[in-house]
């Protein structure tokens, strides 16, 4: 439910940003962040609340939210186009790699119902350390960019430095998946 809430909040946030209603957008972003924290807390502390669907929906909700936020913040001229292109390109490459790994780890006969069934787990992607740092930096940039017009620092040099740092961690994260490749994928045996 919490991941679905985050997915539902993503287009609302995009609309609010495009309409330049940054005060409300900042509050809705905080609510989306709270659902993500609560989701993780519940999954870690109540084993009976973990599910294959939830573990598939959580990263999907994060990717949808981040993508919509970056595109809409770029539309509002708060994040540069090349940075958004870089972030979305990295995510598209990761998603393509996940689809490939999913296909390669499914036992035969491979069917569409098996392929798209989140309850039939065949592999687990272990994020690299730099990827975790990158996710945090991307979220900090979103929060700072959303707050910039509210608190009048949209032209701040610190925001521009954060753009550069985000670009660096995004590139480093993409490279880490390329370099470590197979070490980041754990095939689940017995399926």
Q: Is 186 helix (H, G, I), strand (E, B) or coil?
A: strand
Listed residue (86, 121, 110) closest to 191, CA to CA: 121
pLDDT at 52: 63
Fold that domain 1-190 belongs to in CATH: 1.20.120
**3-state DSSP call for residue 117?**
coil
In this structure, the number of other CB atoms found within 10 A of the CB of residue 190 comes to 3
Higher per-residue pLDDT: 121 or 5: 5
At 145-174, the pLDDT tens digits run 999 999 999 999 999 999 999 999 999 999
Q: Could you tell me which residues come within 8 angstroms of residue 125 by beta carbon, excluding any fewer than 6 positions away?
A: 98, 101, 184, 185, 186
pLDDT at 29 over 90: yes
Give the CA count within 13 Å in the CB-facing half-sphere of 11.
3
pLDDT of residue 191 exceeding 50, the answer is no
Tens of pLDDT, residue by residue over 101-135, are: 888 888 888 888 888 877 777 777 778 899 989 98
More confident residue, 35 or 40: 35
Average pLDDT, the chain: 88
Q: How far separated are the first and last CA of the chain, in Å rounded?
A: 27
Interval 92-101: pLDDT, tens: 998 888 888 8
What residues have CB less than 8 Å from 108, skipping those under 6 apart? none
- Give the residues across from 123 on adjacent strands: 187
HEC string of 1-70 equals: CHHHHHHHHHHHHHHHHHCCCHHHHHHHHHHHHHHHHHHHHHHHHCHHHCCHHHHHHHHHHHHHHHHHHH
- The domain limits of the chain are 1-190
In tens, the pLDDT along 38-63 reads 888 887 888 777 666 666 778 888 88
pLDDT reported for residue 189: 67
What's the confidence (pLDDT) of residue 90?
93
Q: What is the dihedral of CA 104, 55, 4, 147, to 10 degrees?
A: -100
């Amino acid at each position: 439910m919490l991941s679905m809430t985050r997915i539902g909040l993503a287009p609302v946030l995009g609309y609010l940003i495009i309409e330049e209603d940054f005060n409300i957008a900042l509050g809705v972003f905080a609510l989306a962040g709270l659902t993500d924290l609560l989701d993780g807390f519940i999954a870690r502390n109540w084993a009976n609340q973990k599910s294959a669907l939830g573990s598939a929906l959580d990263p999907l909700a994060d990717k949808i939210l981040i993508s919509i936020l970056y595109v809409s913040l770029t539309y509002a001229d708060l994040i540069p186009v090349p940075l958004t292109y870089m972030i979305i390109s990295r995510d598209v490459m990761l998603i393509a790699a996940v689809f490939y790994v999913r296909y390669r780890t499914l036992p035969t006969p491979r069917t569409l119902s098996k392929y798209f069934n989140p309850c039939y787990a065949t592999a687990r992607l272990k994020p690299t350390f730099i990827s975790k740092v990158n996710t945090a930096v991307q979220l900090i940039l979103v929060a700072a960019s959303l707050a910039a017009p509210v608190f009048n620092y949209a032209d701040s040099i610190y925001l521009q430095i954060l753009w550069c740092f985000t670009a660096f961690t995004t590139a480093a994260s993409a490279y880490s998946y390329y370099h470590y490749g197979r070490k980041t994928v754990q095939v689940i045996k017995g399926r």
